[in-house]
Amino acid sequence: LAVLCWAPHWANGRVTIYNDNRAAISAFTRRHSGVPGMADAIRAVASTCARFNICLHFEWLPGVVNMLADAVSRAQMPRFFRIHPHADRLPCVPSRDPSLPSNVRVSTALIDLSDAALEHKTRLSYAASGRLFARYLRYGYPSLVFPETLRARDYHALLSAGPHVVNGFIGYCAALQPPQSAPSVRSHLSALRSLALGPSTPEALPAWSAYTQRLLRGYDKLHVAGRLGRQPLDRDLAARIIHQLATAYTTGPQVHRWAYALYGAAFTVAWHGALRVGEYTEHLRATGVEFLPDGAAALTIARTKTTAESVRIVLRPGPDPTLCPVRALKRYWQLRQPVGRPEAQFFLKENGAPLDAASVSRMLRTMASALGASEAVVRSLSSHSFRSGAATAANDAAVPLRDIMALGRWKSDAVSRYIRVRPSTLDAARGSIGLTPTDVAVNQQRLPPRPPTHSMGSAAIHEPRSDHTFHTTDKEHSPRIKGITSPP
């Protein structure tokens, strides 16, 4: 029945059929049987495979591991759903109308659309979180059997089973050696929510319980990450680094000119364009760089994190030749152009390998350390620091938030995680609220009169009048209660 139903979708392919009946496997493999009914089935399958060019391969497996197929073949659907409670209640039937798309093509289209919504690196990160969660399940629930690959409905059922599953996973991450950092644990939980989304799963997942939220707050305090992410690069330090690279390109050793030009152009472009590291290391091709007649440079990013469409960014020349992004691009293009390979990434190392995020972070820390930055600042820098530093510098310049989002192509309030308040800004804020002797002289003239007092033994008690003082209903046994105001 499976061959007759799905043969058009298996055309020109090889299909392996597992069965727990050795006699049936032998008959279909030899394509011969003395039983009339079995012989008719063999002829129907053989003719269908010949028509659609399908190669069938049969393998035997024990019946104890084939309970799902055994229940369906015996029409024991209650038993099937008891073994696999998350199975689809409606069968997947191929379309009989050739003009309509089949269920297989529709399912494939759904998978493609779902994958297109996430970046490749994001999918890899979610897959890693799923593998860690699977290890926790095998560790925390050794008596239960879980499939090798969890599907969306499996994640949804586990996350909906109760808070103990998520709480146990948080404890498992804390018990690892070394323990997972607090941001990593939150990323894992977000990944599990994303993995639980599927075409047959309900829309909403239960929110994390109050106890789960408490565990996450405790995790933030006990397992702080060794290096804080998205720390901004100070504007002055960025200018000194880029200036130093431009100067070294002219006066430094010739053997290192490629590195000076490469990192000088990459750092300058990353800052002025507020680019993500993947946008200029992976999605910027040599054909995507254009020098315009008016002296500007146009960069065409093939795709970004928030859209699959190309993005065009125009960089204008600056007054300082050592800090100008257009001059930095031209210096590097003089070395890059003879290499050719227009379809490759624009930023290439001297050995032909594309520039990567690890190399950007390493060179940034090396330059910051050479210019006298503190060890704490050096450790906090990464390839994200250019983007975060550009957003912070724009915020310091009083650029509206919507313009900052447009500058860095942010689609949500995630931009707030990239903007940092500088110590100088905090000092100015403290200075604006600081008290001065003039404030004291003015306030002394505005002091309210002293309230009346009466003596009780040796103590003087102030009784400020209040319109919101409660009185109990039993005046004989309930004294007046002071200091409790009525609710608004």
Question: Greater confidence, 173 or 199?
Answer: 173
The predicted pLDDT at position 282 comes to 87
The predicted pLDDT at position 110 comes to 65
Closest among 414, 389, 245 to 321, alpha carbons compared:
245
Question: Greater confidence, 29 or 422?
Answer: 29
The predicted pLDDT at position 327 comes to 92
Q: Pick the most confident of 22-31, 188-197, 438-447, 460-469.
A: 188-197
Taking the C-alpha atoms of residue 359 and residue 383, their distance in angstroms, rounded to an integer, is: 9
Question: Greater confidence, 208 or 144?
Answer: 208
Taking the C-alpha atoms of residue 465 and residue 449, their distance in angstroms, rounded to an integer, is: 13
Taking the C-alpha atoms of residue 97 and residue 8, their distance in angstroms, rounded to an integer, is: 12
Taking the C-alpha atoms of residue 94 and residue 225, their distance in angstroms, rounded to an integer, is: 51
The tens digit of pLDDT for each residue in 131-161 reads 999 899 888 888 777 776 788 878 888 888 8
Cα separations in angstroms, 143 against 84, 151, 253: 17, 20, 65
Q: Pick the most confident of 4-13, 40-49, 446-455.
A: 40-49
Query: Which residues have a Cβ under 8 Å from the Cβ of 339 and sit 6 or more positions away?
Result: 348, 352
Tokens of 439: 């404030």
Closest among 55, 43, 44 to 11, alpha carbons compared:
55
Q: What average pLDDT does the segment 57-65 reach?
A: 76
The predicted pLDDT at position 448 comes to 58
Q: Pick the most confident of 44-58, 109-123, 410-424, 452-466.
A: 44-58
Taking the C-alpha atoms of residue 224 and residue 185, their distance in angstroms, rounded to an integer, is: 11
Taking the C-alpha atoms of residue 111 and residue 119, their distance in angstroms, rounded to an integer, is: 14
* % of the chain surpassing 90 pLDDT: 22
DSSP 459: E
Four-CA torsion 6, 8, 10, 16, nearest 10 degrees: 40
The predicted pLDDT at position 463 comes to 46
- In 380-456, beta strands by DSSP E: 453-456
Question: Greater confidence, 332 or 474?
Answer: 332
Closest among 226, 250, 218, 271 to 384, alpha carbons compared:
271
Q: What average pLDDT does the segment 256-268 reach?
A: 93
Question: Greater confidence, 235 or 20?
Answer: 235
Tokens of 243: 């200036």
326 CB neighbour count, 10 Å cutoff = 21
The predicted pLDDT at position 453 comes to 52
Mean pLDDT of the chain: 79
pLDDT band at 99 (very low <50, low <70, confident <90, very high): very low
For residue 166, count CB atoms less than 10 angstroms from its CB and return exposed for 0-12, middle for 13-18, buried for 19 or more. Answer: buried
The tens digit of pLDDT for each residue in 108-126 reads 566 667 767 777 778 888 8
Q: What average pLDDT does the segment 440-448 reach?
A: 54
Tokens of 413: 């309030």
The predicted pLDDT at position 32 comes to 81
Q: Pick the most confident of 11-25, 246-260, 304-318, 419-433.
A: 246-260
The predicted pLDDT at position 188 comes to 92
pLDDT of residue 199 exceeding 80: no
For residue 118, count CB atoms less than 10 angstroms from its CB and return exposed for 0-12, middle for 13-18, buried for 19 or more. Answer: middle
Taking the C-alpha atoms of residue 223 and residue 23, their distance in angstroms, rounded to an integer, is: 60
Strand partners, 348: 354
Exposure b/e, 390-407, CB count within 10 A at least 16 = b: bbbbbbeeeeeeeebbeb
Before 178, cis peptide (omega within 30)? yes
- pTM exceeds cut of 0.85: no
**Of the listed ranges 32-36, 115-119, 300-304, 328-332, the one predicted with least confidence:** 115-119
pLDDT of residue 393 exceeding 80: yes
pLDDT band at 94 (very low <50, low <70, confident <90, very high): low
The predicted pLDDT at position 106 comes to 57
Closest among 91, 80, 65, 73 to 24, alpha carbons compared:
73
The predicted pLDDT at position 485 comes to 41
pLDDT band at 467 (very low <50, low <70, confident <90, very high): very low
Q: What average pLDDT does the segment 431-435 reach?
A: 73
The predicted pLDDT at position 440 comes to 57
pLDDT of residue 100 exceeding 50: no
Per the CB < 8 A criterion, the answer to whether 404 and 391 are in contact is yes
